[in-house]
Structure 1
Amino acid sequence: MCDPLLSLSTAIKATALIQRWYRCKRAQLEIRRRYSLTIFESIEYADEQEQTQLSNFFTFMLEHCVHRGEGKEKNQSTTEIYEKIDVPDSYRGPRLSFPLNIAHAKALLNALKNQQLLHPRYVLQLLRETRRLLKEKPNITHVSVSYFKEITICGDLHGNLDDLLLVFHKNGLPSENNPYVFNGDFVDRGKNSMEILIILFVFLLIYPNDFHLNRGNHEDFILNMKYGFTKEVLKKYKVHGMTILYHLREIFSWLPLATVVNNKVLIVHGGISDTTDLDLLKLLERNKVSWCLTDAKHDICWCQTPAASTKPESSELCSSQVLDILWSDPKKQHGCTLNKRRGGGCCFGPDTTDQLLKKHNLKMLIRSHEFKPDGYDLAHDGKVITIFSASNYYEEGSNRGAYIRMNPDLVPHFIQYQVCVSTDKRKNWERVKTIEQSALQTLQKRIFIHKQKLMDTFAKYDSGRISVSDWAAVMESVLQLKLPWRTLKSRLVKTDPDGNVDYMSCFYYMDTARPMHQPTLVETLCKYSRDLQMIFNIMDEDQSGLISPDEFRKTWKIFSSYLDIHSHDEAIDKLVQSIDYNKDGYIDFNEFLEAFHVVHKLENKAA
């Protein structure tokens, strides 16, 4: 007969073992999730760093490579342009009449939710009214809240329309009794940036005193060309896309820079520096300040001062003030240093926060700008709050979004959410696996882009196998991503029985052991694919997205001469000949510049 005490003891031990196994698996999954998100974030910041060397060039391209017919439209008012655009009877999308009311907003929300496109006539009319209103706004908007009128603060949306719709569903539509602040980065990365802008501008016009927009670092025409918004607008509005973009560029320059709640809570997109001066920010003519990551030594910035309202001041001083509040990030350590991870703004410590709050008699700083897995984060003893409203930012299931509700007590209440398409239907390990695979593919592409430099550095060692420490040191010195390379080792390379790394296996995922046609050129195309796309978008006069062999050579010549990239004409000719053009002698340039598409095409040609 079985001893009941023995059975109970066995059951307890088995339960303990199961719990230990479960906790171990949960911990392993969490490690994989965290390093996957670290990969995404590190590569995102590295991309922003590289933008610094290209901004001057693309500014020049925009100013000197004007599309046919666009020059005339630039000299016309928005009214003159949209009045010439007819809305056909066949148009079944939303219709706007001004002044707007909440009925228009609800109809528009429903139409955009169902993927209907607002006609360009209404878009341009909306932009005209939005520009008129924004010009009347101060650089720093002051708002007040009461127990009957709490305020909602939202962070980055980055083109994720579903997140905006979910916020409105959970929190209610904007109204005089339900005010909102949207803290920049409305556009880029996501596929519905234009729809988000339309919705935000409509509510701004309906509730100008209770709906507030701050400018983010992505409300900029240079970043828009690189991170997707320009491409989105040109795709959705083929005929009037460039005109819409031109007027949006001006609207972005008029967006307010900050919002202050009850004179105690400062809301800016990025952060601050040890030189941030809110009194100076109030006086800047914000639409004339060149703040993008460019060499602004030839720009003139105008600051309004009591002594001389039109006196030219230092461009560097004015630009750095705006640059800092749009690009900066908090750090744990004291002090204020250059933000090398992003290439612009500052990393500010708790002492810098205390200094600014004390100087302006503020209680806290709310900012956005940074991905947060939970949608929000607290730093500097709770005095700095990051709010990030784009859920599933890197991959479906990668993070929650959040927004803040705040009453007169000025205690932030965080509401989290996550748009679920298939996330809630998958198990946790399946979600983590998807995020991890996507992150590793992004990292492997980055490794391939720097293949030649990695190979040259690895070649300094005697054999094809090196220690894990040496391999990790080389990866970090070349890629400079500050990643946990030892943790990632098993996902990226093969090791021998002695634990040494076969560094050539870094590139096996691309099947580069096979002979490849013009590998250096391919790596260059992968590295600068977004930037070549930007050049072509500027030069593509008919916005067809198609390119001929001669246009490709011209695009490459302009770009390579600027970056001083040396490639022989023969190499370019071989590349051009390897491309499959359509019967009319053109290819889809955007598809061509997908890095893996390029590599596999060339591998197949060489095989």
Structure 2
Amino acid sequence: MEEATALKNQGNDAFKNKDWPKAIDLYSQAIDKYDKEPSFYTNRAQAHIRLEAYGYAVADATKAIELNPDFVKAYYRRAVANTAILRHSDAIHDWKIVVKKQPSDKVARAQHDACQKVIKRDAFLKAIEAPDAPSAAEGLDLANMAIPSDYDGVKLGDEMTLEFVEDLIERFKNGKKLPLKYVYQIVLAVKDICYNEPTMVETHVDQGKKITVCGDTHGQYFDLMEIFRMNGRPSADHAYLFNGDFVDRGSWSCEIALLLYAYKWLYPKSMFLNRGNHETDDMNRMYGFEGECKAKYNDRTFKLFSESFSALPLATLIGDKYFVLHGGLFSDDNITLDDVRKLNRHNQKQPGQSGLMMEMLWTDPQTAPGRGPSKRGVGLQFGPDVTKRFCEKNGLEAIIRSHEVRMDGYEEEHDSKCITIFSAPNYCDSTGNRGAFINIEDDYKLQFKQFDAVKHPDIKPMAYASSPMMGMM
């Protein structure tokens, strides 16, 4: 117990220094020395929460509760983790216990009340859900929508222009918004463009040109500007692929989504957008994008974005060599690129809890061979043998995916056949990671570029999230 406690204390120091993987390793060593102390598990659960390994956090908190059914912190951790993966009915069970055991805890009471509201809201939305509901664009008369007299930006006609995009970049840097008419025009134009693209877009890099692959940007607009400053802006000769999770968490999600969409409209053949697990309704309601749309524009804006997210492709194949998708590989070795090509994503607007779309948006690599349960509590994990077989069967050099923080901004795993790229440095203003992107020229060699977070206006991440807990995680 004495040796274990010393390791736990070292883990606490690593946690304070935001070195979550080291903290987890030290807490795990403490548990190996002495596995009957519940606080070792709740501390490790908190570190897992910081790394968004919510499934592991639930398992650790449950073990702590088994060791001590009166340990309030364990119920607290489990409730937080279940809230994060949208298991609100499980979370409310634990919030009730916390509130009962600690009636003076105002934060727990606020979480309990927020969770109750979400459960009621979700039940209401499910009750009124109609499979053939009309588009949010129905009834819009864009031609006769007025532009406010105080709008001082470039005018937008029936086609996107480079002048408008460049003005938009500066406008957003200065905290200005777009007229609603222009917001609607941009989202609807890109929805139509993306809807008509295949589920897996296939592209090549011509001589003298290049494509840049970016991972999650998560509403960190000023860090996106740093990518463009370092690497150049999108153009007909310099393609960009943004591999999902443009929105949520960061508090400039509207700005990123609108700018990427404006570029997509301007350069439909050299701006590529893959859907991520955060381009989905349930995540947007919890992690801030819905609230941000309503705060900066209106509810219709969110609904139009939601429809456009459902139109986004799920993957991009670069030069027949690199399969790029947000999450990762599949639960079945028999799935091939042809199955992705044939997938009709328009039949399923939201990814659900199973199936190819869910796996493409949610899965993660693991070091052990085979497949395992998801550390997130959603989807699954796949090992190096799974990646090797998929690449060999499909003639690929590697898969490129995002979906997870990497402290260096990127990581080559599974004998360099599984590459994770993450482009939100100092994620949520708290993680301390670098960001990265990949340049691919006509020789198809991967060039990794790292960058650090830049200063941004004093608006905290999760400023528009629906739950107060989300801003604390």
Structure-2-length-normalised TM-score: 0.72
| Residues in 2 aligned to 1:206 and 1:221: alpha-carbon distance in whole angstroms | 26
Residue by residue over 1:299-320, the C-alpha shift from the partner in whole angstroms, topping out at 9 and shown as x without a partner, is xxxxxxxxxxxxxxxxxxxx51
Residue 32 of structure 1 corresponds to 17
- Note the C-alpha offset of 1:406: 1.2
Residue 373 of structure 2 corresponds to 338
1:395 aligned onto 2:458? no
- Note the C-alpha offset of 1:199: 0.5
- Note the C-alpha offset of 1:287: 2.4
Q: Secondary structure at the match of 2:140?
A: helix
Residue by residue over 1:442-501, the C-alpha shift from the partner in whole angstroms, topping out at 9 and shown as x without a partner, is xxxxxxxxxxxxxxxxxxxxxxxxxxxxxxxxxxxxxxxxxxxxxxxxxxxxxxxxxxxx
| Residues in 2 aligned to 1:398 and 1:211: alpha-carbon distance in whole angstroms | 29
- Note the C-alpha offset of 1:248: 1.1
| Residues in 2 aligned to 1:378 and 1:75: alpha-carbon distance in whole angstroms | 42
Pair 231,30 (structure 1): closer, same or farther in 2 beyond 3 Å: closer
- Note the C-alpha offset of 1:374: 0.9
Pair 176,40 (structure 1): closer, same or farther in 2 beyond 3 Å: farther
| Residues in 2 aligned to 1:115 and 1:380: alpha-carbon distance in whole angstroms | 42
Residue 146 of structure 1 corresponds to 206
When structure 1 is superposed on structure 2, of 342-351 and 250-259 the one drifting more is: 342-351
Contact 1:78 1:128 in 2 (8 A): no
| Residues in 1 aligned to 2:253 and 2:206: alpha-carbon distance in whole angstroms | 32
Contact 2:136 2:303 in 1 (8 A): no
Q: Secondary structure at the match of 2:224?
A: helix
1:254 aligned onto 2:311? yes
Identity of aligned residues (%): 32
Residue 320 of structure 2 corresponds to 263
- Note the C-alpha offset of 1:121: 1.0
| Residues in 2 aligned to 1:60 and 1:320: alpha-carbon distance in whole angstroms | 23
Residue 5 of structure 1 corresponds to none
- Which of 244, 260, 273 is residue 184 of structure 1 equivalent to? 244
Pair 40,166 (structure 1): closer, same or farther in 2 beyond 3 Å: farther
The root-mean-square deviation of aligned C-alpha atoms, in Å, is 3.0
Contact 2:351 2:357 in 1 (8 A): no
1:61 aligned onto 2:124? yes
Residue 183 of structure 2 corresponds to 123
Whichever residue aligns with residue 282 of structure 1, its letter is R
1:42 aligned onto 2:49? yes
1:284 aligned onto 2:291? no
- Which of 175, 179, 182 is residue 235 of structure 2 equivalent to? 175
| Residues in 2 aligned to 1:258 and 1:594: alpha-carbon distance in whole angstroms | 32
| Residues in 1 aligned to 2:181 and 2:231: alpha-carbon distance in whole angstroms | 31
Pair 30,343 (structure 1): closer, same or farther in 2 beyond 3 Å: closer
Which runs of 5 or more residues in structure 2 are unaligned? 1-12, 25-45, 55-79, 90-117
1:326 aligned onto 2:361? yes
Whichever residue aligns with residue 329 of structure 1, its letter is D
Pair 41,144 (structure 1): closer, same or farther in 2 beyond 3 Å: farther
| Residues in 1 aligned to 2:179 and 2:203: alpha-carbon distance in whole angstroms | 34
Q: Secondary structure at the match of 1:92?
A: coil
Whichever residue aligns with residue 53 of structure 2, its letter is Y
Matches within 5 A, 1:194-593: 194-237=254-297, 241-275=298-332, 276-289=335-348, 291-294=350-353, 319-339=354-374, 341-395=375-429, 398-421=432-455, 534=466
- Note the C-alpha offset of 1:59: 4.9
Contact 1:94 1:111 in 2 (8 A): no
- Note the C-alpha offset of 1:92: 2.7
Structure-1-length-normalised TM-score: 0.57
Q: Secondary structure at the match of 1:344?
A: coil
When structure 1 is superposed on structure 2, of 93-102 and 412-421 the one drifting more is: 93-102
| Residues in 2 aligned to 1:413 and 1:75: alpha-carbon distance in whole angstroms | 42
Contact 2:276 2:326 in 1 (8 A): yes
Residue by residue over 1:375-404, the C-alpha shift from the partner in whole angstroms, topping out at 9 and shown as x without a partner, is 001100111110000011043571111100
Contact 1:40 1:394 in 2 (8 A): no
Pair 151,347 (structure 1): closer, same or farther in 2 beyond 3 Å: same
| Residues in 2 aligned to 1:224 and 1:146: alpha-carbon distance in whole angstroms | 37
Contact 1:373 1:398 in 2 (8 A): yes
Pair 596,116 (structure 1): closer, same or farther in 2 beyond 3 Å: closer
Pair 42,74 (structure 1): closer, same or farther in 2 beyond 3 Å: same
| Residues in 2 aligned to 1:596 and 1:389: alpha-carbon distance in whole angstroms | 20
| Residues in 2 aligned to 1:596 and 1:230: alpha-carbon distance in whole angstroms | 15
Whichever residue aligns with residue 133 of structure 1, its letter is I
Residue by residue over 1:305-346, the C-alpha shift from the partner in whole angstroms, topping out at 9 and shown as x without a partner, is xxxxxxxxxxxxxx511111110110111001231x212222
Contact 1:78 1:124 in 2 (8 A): no
Pair 41,107 (structure 1): closer, same or farther in 2 beyond 3 Å: farther
Contact 2:359 2:380 in 1 (8 A): yes
Residue by residue over 1:200-225, the C-alpha shift from the partner in whole angstroms, topping out at 9 and shown as x without a partner, is 01111111111100000000011001
